[in-house]
Structure 1
Amino acid sequence: MSYQFVPFQQLRQQPTIVVDSTANGAALVLAHWRGAPTPAPLRDDTSAGSVLRALHAPATPGLAARAVTANHFDVDGFVGVWSLLHPALALHHEALLRLTALLGDFRELPWADPLAEQALQLVCWLNAKEKELFYPPFGAPVLRRREDEASAEKFDWFLPRFADVVRRPESGKAAWEPEYARVRQATAVMRSPATTLTRYPEIGLVVVRTPEPLPYYALFGPTTGSDIVLSIYDGQRYELEYKYTTWIDLESRPTLPRLPLNALAARLNAQEHSPRRWTFDGITDTGPLLRLEGKRLTKPQRYADPDQRPIHASSISPEVLEQTVVQFFEQGYAAMQPRRYWTWPEIKAAGQLLPTR
């Protein structure tokens, strides 16, 4: 059976499979979004993983629809759409594509995997060509366009070209090599004595102490299994982030719900003696940040790597900062147990139980 990609606005013009998105009227949804109606046997950590599961289950209701769409372009969604359009090649490279989707969405890469290098090359190629030819992730509103409309042009360009880079990564080397080299250099820093990691598994937190901000693909590499990262850089510069793993319905392990960060920000502001104030994003953001305020970051800036944005010095010592963060989450999660498939109403209700300061 052959599939064709259609722009998201054409969803209801024919039976359509929706990947890495949700929509009323879809013949089949293959997405890891929280609450998405993905069939239970096809649930996976990534939307591309759900697509690959579906390719192993051709009798899945709705899979006979000939059209495929997504309401945005990112690595995971693209790999899922591409896999439906190239099922034989996708199943042949299934392990590689799973790693690629995982790296694209969670910024996690198991370097011990023999396919890790190639997955990084594929992601860097997608990132480089996207920035060169189109607009950065979350950048459509700047162009006064809707993402579900503008992203169709990205799919049209990438879909016929990706197979060649999957088969022969060297064919895309000119594009992927600069970011690849930057990530490899940063990974060496993460593995060096200059970097230390402290894990608090009962609250899903990893504290990373490293000299300078690094690309996410290096920074988050060793944080697999955790959902919150506190980055502590030289010069008393800090960022705390909820990973994307708690925005979606993670299949592989239970998680704790996101907690609103206003009370933590209030505690830090009570200790902060610099002119700046601690600010935070809401829990429904894809990757909420807690950081010292400068010029307000745009969504594209917040999605970009930490080494691509300013991170300001705090008056709070690293030891006090870490202690304050750990105590906040230990208190907040004291009466909660990790589980799968939290709904957004349940997550918001959990946050309402917290003290405001």
Structure 2
Amino acid sequence: MEFRYLPFPELKHTPAVVVDSFHPNGLVLSHWRGAATPVLLREDTSAGMVLQALKQAWPALQNYHYVTANHFDIDALVGVWALLHPDLTLEQEETLRQIAVIGDFRELDLSIAEADTALKVVCWVNAQEKALFYPPFGADALEENEVIASIPKFHYFLEAFTEVLVHPERFKAIWLPEYAQVVQHYQQVREPATSVHPYPELGLVVIDTPVPVHYYALFSLTTGFDLVLSCYAGQRYELECKYTTWVDLATRPTLPRPDLRKLAARLNTLETSGFTWHAPSPTDTGPLLRLENQQLRKAEQYANPTERRMYASSIPLEAFQNSVLAFLRESFAGVSAKQYWTWDEMKAHYKKISF
């Protein structure tokens, strides 16, 4: 069994394994909501599903010689690369799984032995992607769409990834700046100045920390939760729906996404700072409610909290947190967590909720 990378536009003519994407002309290994991934291969990340297929020597793999994805991100990269290097994949299985989790869900757990190496590889990918190509979710600024624009990324990273995975220290000059920041912030959010308040019944974790930190540090405190309320000094707040509720998780149930636009409208009746609360549609990959003077572009929304300006709200901390909690309790009244929500079910839920 030998695979080659297939640019996604060619999939209409050539069957392939389809990673982290949808298409009828192939075997789909994707955590996208509603994907037809075989039940026995399901994991939380798409790359994890590829690892399962290789571990189980999934018979349907024998029907294909190509693998593809319709966008570039770390989860898709690992999934495509794994089929090109099956033997090395099985040797590096847990490191690859951690690379996908950190890259896609931003959930870093340095107590896992392989997570440190995984973080180095992720930081290398991040640095090279920014240096050589457009940033994540930056394709909207290009003439080409993501399907086409991502192809050169795949050619470069599929060629370079192997040596970085096996010998990450050789690339220290590239990954060290972000890696050092993440490790520093990871320690910072575990110091007494940071408080963490979980609300499991709402899928919410509230993190009160003095200054914004890197996502991998911030979300290291959020595993098992899908909503993150970050509260920074000076009455600066962000509420985010994690990517974990855009996909189908195999390991745990979730609540449907709340429509943060409705909370934004409520907060704007209280806000007197001159800025405006804004949130995108629940179908956005990671809806982020925040106070703005102008709406963020998608690439800015995806960037780390340290990279975007945050404005002071006129709403005191306790009142803000109480508003969020009240909104979520109303949103989830009578709703039970479950696995494999459909988008139609979620949209029907939004329509029933009025504020």
- Output the TM-score relative to the length of structure 1: 0.98
Distance, in Å, in 1 between the alignment partners of 2:273 and 2:290 is 13
The answer (yes or no) to whether the contact 1:17–1:63 under 8 Å persists in 2 is no
Task: Give the match's secondary structure for 1:10.
Answer: helix
Offset of residue 184 of structure 1: 0.9
Offset of residue 294 of structure 1: 1.6
Distance, in Å, in 1 between the alignment partners of 2:138 and 2:62 is 32
1:99 has 2:98 as partner: yes
What's 2:20 paired with?
20
Matched to 1:128, the amino acid is: A
* Cα deviation digits, residues 168-221 of structure 1 (max 9, x gap): 110111110000011111112111111110000000000000111111000000
Q: Map 1:1-357 to 2 at 5 A.
A: 1-25=1-25, 27-355=26-354, 357=355
CA RMSD of aligned residues (A): 1.0
List structure 1 runs of 4+ shifted beyond 4 angstroms.
Answer: none
Distance, in Å, in 2 between the alignment partners of 1:180 and 1:153 is 25
The answer (yes or no) to whether the contact 1:47–1:76 under 8 Å persists in 2 is yes
* Cα deviation digits, residues 95-119 of structure 1 (max 9, x gap): 1110110000100012211111111
Distance, in Å, in 2 between the alignment partners of 1:59 and 1:193 is 48
Distance, in Å, in 2 between the alignment partners of 1:273 and 1:146 is 39
The answer (yes or no) to whether the contact 2:278–2:295 under 8 Å persists in 1 is no
The answer (yes or no) to whether the contact 2:71–2:146 under 8 Å persists in 1 is yes
Offset of residue 18 of structure 1: 0.6
5+ residue gaps, structure 2 = none
* Cα deviation digits, residues 15-59 of structure 1 (max 9, x gap): 21110011122x200000000111111111000000000002224
Matched to 1:330, the amino acid is: R
Identity %: 52
Distance, in Å, in 1 between the alignment partners of 2:143 and 2:38 is 35
Report the number of matched residues: 355
5+ residue gaps, structure 1 = none
Matched to 1:4, the amino acid is: R
Offset of residue 63 of structure 1: 4.5
Distance, in Å, in 2 between the alignment partners of 1:155 and 1:172 is 19
Task: Give the match's secondary structure for 1:238.
Answer: strand
